[in-house]
Amino acid sequence: MPYPEAMVAPMRNDLVHVGFTELRTVADVDEALGSEQRTTMIAVNSVCGCAAGAMRPAVAMSLDNESRPDVLLTVFAGQDLDATNRAREYFTGYPPSSPSVALMKDGEIVYMLERREIEGRPASEIAASLKAAYDEHC
């Protein structure tokens, strides 16, 4: 069951504030990802502590890089259930994970950062991993 919107709005805004577009419906996801050929980051947001303390700050820090994705998108796991499930259908070969960050190029996953790679790591270390992925794929 989703949390009250007033509670999660600041968590949503952490990513929107740095340039992410929220995908809140299945139609939003299909429109954004269905034929996208540019380098695209999809952040699967979450209310959990590792999203607040590591994933969202790391993603924001990582954008301070010469190479970066062309398109920044986000879905919110546990909140926008249908949109999140649809986004995960594009993550072929990866189990559901939240938080997580997918980097797609020409409609294919080229880099995936799963929850197990976020938990227990400082945001600066995660940001460095993301920057390395951008340098390689963007």
Active site residues: 48, 50
The CA distance from 38 to 133, in Å, is 15
**In 3D, which of 10, 115, 138 has the Cα closest to residue 58?**
115
Which H helix or E strand runs over 11? helix 5-16
Q: Which two tokens stand for residue 15?
A: 């990513």
Q: How far is CA 104 from CA 64, 66, 88, in A?
A: 19, 18, 12
